[in-house]
Amino acid sequence: MIKDKKYYGEVWFVGGDENKCFSILYIENNNLFLETNLHSKKPVLKELQILGIFTGIGFLTFIDCKIRKSESGITEMRRYSPKYSFLCAHHHIKAVGLKFKKFEVNNKAISDWIDHAVWYNRVDDKLEKKDDLSHKISIKEIGLNITINNSLSYSSKRTELSIKNNGYVTFELDNEVSVLEAFNIYNNFQKLLQLLTSKSNQFSNFGFQCLTCGEWANIYYNDYKYAKSTHTFIHTQYHEVEKDVPIILEAIYTDGSFSFCIDKLMDSILNKQTSHNKRFTNSISTFEAFGKLYSTVRTNNLKKYLKYFAENFMLIAKIDEDAFNKLSSKIIRSRDYHIHSNLSNKNVLSEFELLYISFLIDFVVAYGLLSSFKISEKLKEKIIIHGQSVFINMQQANQILSSNPLNDEL
């Protein structure tokens, strides 16, 4: 489906195909909407399932359709917003109990990451491109094959030629999975994108191979968590980390400790509407989880975790041991102030300091997590350099705005 286009067709309730109603389908802010006069005789907040046929798409099954707008008069009008929509050119998809073994997702963030765009060679007066990419990664422990792809598609009109760079990932499983399990598999892949590229997008296509007819069908839903997500973590190109990707993906899918810490790290990074002190407490929680799972400290003690990972803090923050000890004490006092409500604590981190200290903690966690595997020195260096840039530049900005309390006696 194209976001800026409206589609026209007919919709009806399950078992009521004799009462078909005209409908308009469109996408707005990544949400799919149906406008129609189809409605139940009894007042309801949503319809469990609606079926439809639309020109240019085919057969559609809409699930969990909330009523966003209702108008009464000479005719009835309803605007439905389905949570999940199933599209197929050949038949209606039976969503209840649906399972499949192969699915494919297009995401612009993948093509940006691989960056195999066409470029114009002015010397030879011709277009040039890199070879299409297809990198297959097998995760045997869970019977999953992931293939990261990049290719070009072409379309032409009388007056123009359009070349599009497509990035997509294919998932093939030994065993059948449900729709929600497939979403979870895809979301785990998006954690890799977030960790290594600092962004993801609402997918442009989420297709699966129907086990009944063997043809491809599609699912549409609003990927609220990852759509339009950007942050200032690390930025890599695929060719820089190609050898690291299989290692990280296997850890995300099979290592419970790694996956747990990455989940907490992503929650801290992706939370767009949070105060600085809330972000700080989230980062502290992530760091304590990391310390418990990846250190030899046997008691859940923030002071001991900070000391255990002191070298990583000093490396990324570019501070010496004395400065780290002072900073460590201030972090502990601030944790007690904001989490344990020790309001008598003095000389805690200011509101602005809380933000960039939380960034520092997140970089330490990411560096420690990835360093627990045999990743490349280039990726480690990326984390260090970007962490130093974010943390130190923020301190400098704070100095310009007023003063930097970190330079004072802590």
* pLDDT confidence band for 344 (50 / 70 / 90): confident
Sequence length of the chain is 410
Q: For 275-290, what is the mean pLDDT?
A: 92
Contact 190, 215 (CB under 8 A): no
Report residue 277's pLDDT band, with 50, 70 and 90 as the boundaries. confident
Q: pLDDT (tens digit, 9 = 90+) per residue, 349-359? A: 888 888 889 99
Q: What is the pLDDT of residue 398?
A: 57
* Residue 399 pLDDT: 58
pLDDT at site 290? 96
Characterize 46-63 residue by residue with b for buried, 16 or more Cβ atoms within 10 angstroms of its Cβ, and e for exposed.
Answer: ebeebbbbbeebbbbbbb
CB atoms within 10 A of CB 255: 17
**What is the model's pLDDT at position 200?**
86
Q: What is the per-residue pLDDT for 287?
A: 96
In this prediction, residue 123 carries a pLDDT of 82
What are 101's two structure tokens?
């073994």
**Pick from 147, 129, 125, 151: which is nearest to 138 by CA?**
147
User: Looking at this protein, which amino acid is placed at residue 225?
Assistant: K
Q: Is residue 286 within 8 Å of residue 260, measured between CB atoms? A: no
pLDDT at 273: 61
How confident is the model at residue 161, as a pLDDT? 81
The predicted model gives 381-389 an average pLDDT of 92
Q: What confidence score (pLDDT) does residue 128 get?
A: 79
Q: Are 132 and 151 in contact (CB under 8 A)?
A: yes
Phi, psi torsion values for 121, nearest 5 degrees: -90, 105
Phi, psi of 64 (to 5 degrees): 55, 65
Q: Which residues of 291-312 are buried (b: 16+ CB within 10 A; e: fewer)?
A: bbebeebeeeebeebbebbeeb
Higher local confidence (pLDDT), 117 or 6: 6
Mean pLDDT, the chain, integer: 89
Q: Which residue has the higher pLDDT, 343 or 6?
A: 6
401 — pLDDT class (breaks 50, 70, 90): low
Cα(367)–Cα(361) distance, integer angstroms: 10
Most confident of 21-25, 160-164, 229-233, 348-352: 21-25
Work out the average pLDDT over 141-146: 96
- Classify residue 403 by its DSSP letter: -
pLDDT at 409: 46
Distances 140 to 144, 147, 369 between C-alpha atoms, Å: 6, 14, 22
Rounded distance between C-alpha atoms, residue 272 and residue 190, angstroms:
17
In this structure, of 68-82, 87-101, 390-404, the range with the lowest mean pLDDT score is: 390-404
Torsion of Cα atoms, 302 then 300 then 344 then 325, to 10°: -20
**394 pLDDT exceeds 70?**
no
**335 is written with which tokens?**
């944790």
Distance, in Å, from the CA atom of 382 to the CA atom of 367, rounded to the nearest integer, reads 10
How far, in Å, CA of 118 to CA of 114, rounded?
12
pLDDT, tens only, 203-228:
999 999 999 888 999 999 999 888 77
At residue 100 the predicted structure's pLDDT band, cuts being 50, 70 and 90, is very high
Output 123 or 282, whichever has higher pLDDT. Answer: 282
Q: What is the pLDDT of residues 129-140, one digit of tens each?
A: 788 889 999 999
pLDDT digits (tens, 9 = 90+) for 35-79: 999 999 888 899 999 999 999 999 999 999 999 999 887 888 999
**pTM of structure:** 0.89
In this prediction, residue 121 carries a pLDDT of 79
| Closest by CA position to 265, among listed 372, 384, 369 | 369
Mean pLDDT of 157-174: 89
Q: Give the closest residue to 145 by CA, choosing from 168, 179, 169, 178.
A: 169
How do the residues of the chain divide into helix, strand and coil, expressed in percent and rounded to 5?
Answer: 40, 30, 30
Per-residue pLDDT, averaged over 288-302, amounts to 93
Task: Choose the weakest-confidence range: 210-219, 269-278, 367-376.
Answer: 269-278
Residue 408 has pLDDT above 60, yes or no: no
Within 13 Å of residue 207, how many CA atoms lie on the same side as its CB? 16
Using pLDDT thresholds of 50, 70 and 90, give the confidence band for residue 306.
Answer: very high
The arithmetic mean of pLDDT across residues 241-253, rounded, is 96
- Mean pLDDT computed over 178-201: 93
What is the average per-residue pLDDT within 158-173?
89
* 402: DSSP letter: S
